[in-house]
A and B are shown apart, each in its own frame.
Chain A
Amino acid sequence: MIVQGLKLTMLGMMVVSSFLVLLLIIIHLSAKLLKPYTEKEASLVTSHRPSGIREETPPDDNRKLTAIISAAIAAHRARIGRYRAP
Chain B
Amino acid sequence: MFMRKPFIIIGCLMVLLFSMMSAVQAGTLPQPDSQGYTLLPPITDMIMNFCRSTGLFSFLSSGIGNNFKGIGQFFMIGVGILLLYLAISKKFEPLLLIPIGFGAILTNTPLASMSDPGGALYYIYTIGIKTGVFPLLVFMGVGAMTDFGPLLANPKTLLLGAAAQVGIFITLVGALILSEIVPGIHFSLLDAASIGIIGGADGPTAIFLSSQLAPHLLGPIAVAAYSYMALVPLIQPPIMRALTTVDERKIRMEQMRHVGKVEKMIFPLSVLGLCVLLLPTAAPLIGFFMFGNLMRECKVVDRLSETAQNALINIVTILLGLGVGAQLSAHQFLNLSTLGILFLGCIAFSIGTASGILMAKLMNLFFKTKINPLIGSAGVSAVPMAARVSQKVGMEADPQNFLLMHAMGPNVAGVIGSAVAAGVLLTLKSLAI
Q: Which residues of A contact B (CB under 8 A)?
A: 1-2, 4-6, 8-9, 11-13, 15-24, 26-28, 30-31, 34, 37-38, 41-42, 45, 63-64, 66-68, 70-71, 74-75, 78, 81-86
Contact = CB atoms under 8 A, between A and B. Distances in A.
B110 interface: no
Interface string B256-283: 0011111100110011001100110000
B176 A64 contact: no
Nearest to B407: A74
B145 A28 contact: no
> Helix, strand, loop or mixed for chain A's interface?
helix
A12 B383 contact: no
A15 B96 contact: no
Contacts of A22: 274, 278
A30 B266 CA distance: 8
B426 to A, nearest CB: 11
Nearest to B408: A74
Interface residues on B, range: 35 or more
Nearest to B258: A42
A23 B270 contact: yes
A41 B261 contact: yes
B383 A85 contact: yes
Given A19-B278, A34-B262, A83 B400 contact: no
Contacts of A23: 155, 158, 270-271, 274, 416
6 contacts: A2-B180, A21-B162, A23-B155, A37-B260, A70-B405, A86-B95
Interface of B: 93, 95-96, 138, 141-142, 145-147, 151-152, 155-156, 158-159, 161-162, 165-166, 168-170, 172-173, 175-177, 179-180, 189, 192-193, 202-204, 255, 258-263, 266-267, 270-271, 274-275, 278-279, 309, 313, 317, 320, 381-384, 388, 391, 400, 402, 404-405, 408, 413, 415-417, 420-421, 423-425, 428
A76 to B, nearest CB: 11
Contacts of B202: 85
A18 to B, nearest CB: 8
B162 A41 contact: no
Given A38-B258, A83-B384, A86-B96, A31 B152 contact: yes
Contact of B413 (A13, A20, A66, A85): A20
Nearest to A43: B258
Contacts of A27: 151-152, 155, 158, 267, 270
